[in-house]
Structure 1
Amino acid sequence: MIGNLKPLEIVLIIVVILLLFGAKKLPDMARSLGKSARILKSEAKAMKKDDDKSAPVAEQTADTTAQQPAAPRTIQAFPGDVAGARPVNEPNRTTQS
């Protein structure tokens, strides 16, 4: 967009901005924008560090669950029925090509 603007048009836009916001407010606005950018950057770094710390923990829990045998599933006749519960014979899940 700037490539299509002529130098006179750019100067006119700058003058309009100065008239709207005033010369006194522009440095404050730029300072505020800089602070916001620094805060955003630091928060993004903190989130990235948190993700790096949580990734090994997730891998460890996946490893421990893979090592523990799954508890046998049971069928109950009705909720709370302990005497009538029996194990389920589940078919082995093998893939056939």
Structure 2
Amino acid sequence: MGPLGFNEILIILLIVLLLFGGKKIPELMRGLGRGMREFNDAKNNVRREIEEGMTEKERTANTTASTPSSTTQP
């Protein structure tokens, strides 16, 4: 199956209009917008946590690499 063309999108919109009516569509779109916003917020939070974890791991790796070893030579 390929991407949706103009005719398919038009048919889908007509079916949605018939099923939900003109008054319910704005509520439906608001709910869809809220859902997308929450999804994007959650996605950004996960991305930020991963990046913070990576930078923290790099910082600990740099501090352990820059400290001299505790072995002494007699």
- TM superposition score normalised by structure 1: 0.48
Note closer, same or farther for the CA distance 1:27–1:60 as it changes in structure 2 (3 Å cut): same
| Structure 2 residue 23 is matched with structure 1 residue 18 | no
| Structure 2 residue 38 is matched with structure 1 residue 39 | yes
RMSD: 3.0
The structure having more radius of gyration, on CA atoms, is 1
Q: Percent identity?
A: 27
Moved over 6 A (4+): none
Distance, in Å, in 1 between the alignment partners of 2:14 and 2:46 is: 41
- TM superposition score normalised by structure 2: 0.60
Distance, in Å, in 2 between the alignment partners of 1:44 and 1:50 is: 10
5+ unaligned residues in a row in structure 2: which ranges? none
Alignment coverage as a number of residue pairs: 65
Give 1 or 2: higher helix fraction: 2
